[in-house]
Amino acid sequence: MPETDHRARHVAIIMDGNGRWAKKRHLPRVAGHRAGVEAVRKIVRAAGDLGLEALTLYAFSSENWKRPEEEVSDLMGLMKRFIVSDIDEFAANDVRLKIVGNWRALAPDVVALIEDALARTAGNKRTTLAVALNYGAQDEIVRAARAAAGEGAITAEAIEAHLDTADLPPLDLLIRTSGEVRLSNFLLWQAAYAELYFTDRLWPDFTPADLAAALDQFARRERRFGGL
């Protein structure tokens, strides 16, 4: 029988629209990214209250290096400030930080900040905030397949065990803001049977109420997982 009236445990979000948010207001792109960070804070605070065990956010893709150098620098600076300023709040709210993607290839000062934040929040249990940094799903699958091959047979189960998200609940719902309707190399394996939710809302305008509405729609959907 189809599964109905269910609660999402793991939600992922493609946070799209910062640049268009800034352009509409005749502001530089970095202003949109700053507003996007504030939206992240609100959504992370709401995640635990909404019962989410895991929230995965697409913060910086492996393709984002193609953006102008100044914008990449601004994004990295915002990310560092977010980690430094919010780590105490993570601890206070029992939020565990997790990073997915090839984050160890980032600048040494960024890696050091991340390692400290991971260590300080490792014992937190209420909600896991997984931030995708220098992440690409195709690269993740290749890395997982190589790791599986090094241990023996390459099976779906073996690959899944080596994905960056292996210690998180299965992905239930993937949200993309700003009206775009593509996955953009994000959680391609994990999204195989996830529900998809697209909204025209630009990311800086996405609120906890919007997240609650997406979760409410999810709870009313029938999940068939390939069955009848």
pLDDT band at 2 (very low <50, low <70, confident <90, very high): very low
Assigned token pair, 200:
């025209």
Residue 146's CB: how many other CB atoms inside 10 A?
12
Contact 135, 58 (CB under 8 A): yes
Domains and CATH numbers, the chain: 10-220 (3.40.1180.10)
| pLDDT (tens digit per residue) in 51-108 | 999 999 999 999 899 888 998 998 899 888 888 888 888 888 899 999 999 999 999 9
The structure's pTM equals 0.93
Q: Hey, is 89 helix, strand or coil? A: helix
Q: How much is the pLDDT for 91?
A: 84
**Which positions are catalytic?**
16, 64
